[in-house]
Amino acid sequence: MRLSARLLILRGRSRLPSDPNESERLVKYGERKWRDFQSPVVDPPYWYKWSKDSPYHPVEQQKILKGEYLEWYRYNFHKQKVIPPDAWLFRVGDKVEILTGKDKGKQGDVIQVVQQGNIVVVGSLNCERIKGRDGMLVRQEKPLEHHEVTLLDPKDEKPVDVEFRVNENGQRVRVSVRSGYVIHWPPEILWDGTLKKEYECQDKDTTYENACEKTYKPTLDNWQDELKKIYKISDSPRRETFWY
């Protein structure tokens, strides 16, 4: 251990660790680096090809690290259409009709939405056959672009153009341009399949009343002085200096 500790000093460490456990860790793993404190996952870059799978899945993380979608982005970046969040029309549960592809004209329900990638997945439509884990062929839905599907008019169940309007209650709603009927938003569904309005708060959830409670009292102090008062931190007096 003494020889290993001396080698650590020769490698650039200025002092010996006082904790024996730290000495053993340094001998085994080396000194802590900045990369040891970084997140193990990589955020999706601008050239990432969005799909039904999460970009933080281990398989997708490996594709990002290897840069597998760089060549795809090189030839397809001009085809990407970005839809602003306030212009997004679809939500899980909407009934839509496909406008392109082999299932053109067929209607189905939206089962997945990925706004970052401009993707909509319609249940049991636009499918492809892939090999499953047991080697058998299974059908899997392929994602569609935002402009490749359209909403249906509540009056006649036919494709229609939609615009946003504000109703008498101040809510932003979707309205059919042809008939003027309101296309109501489907109820929001949580990750476990339950309706959002039927969810009951648990012990660790923040209630609506607590979230709306005003706990911050504005002052004329900057944020450093506010933290000093909250945690009762006092600076040591400055040493008197003289200029000659």
Per-residue pLDDT tens for 66-121?
999 999 999 998 888 889 989 999 999 999 999 999 999 999 999 999 999 999 99
Which single residue is written with the structure tokens 């039904």? 52
The DSSP H or E segment spanning 119 is strand 119-122
Q: Identify residue 85 by its one-letter amino acid code.
A: P
Q: Which helix (H) or strand (E) holds 139?
A: strand 137-141
CA angle 59, 64, 66 (to 5 degrees): 95
Distance CA 189, CA 202 (A): 17
pLDDT in tens, 1-51: 455 545 444 444 445 556 666 656 666 666 666 666 677 889 999 999 999
Q: In whole angstroms, what is the distance from residue 239 CA to residue 106 CA?
A: 80
For residues 140 and 165, is the Cβ–Cβ distance under 8 A?
no
Q: Which residue has the tokens 């102090």?
A: 221
pTM summary value: 0.71
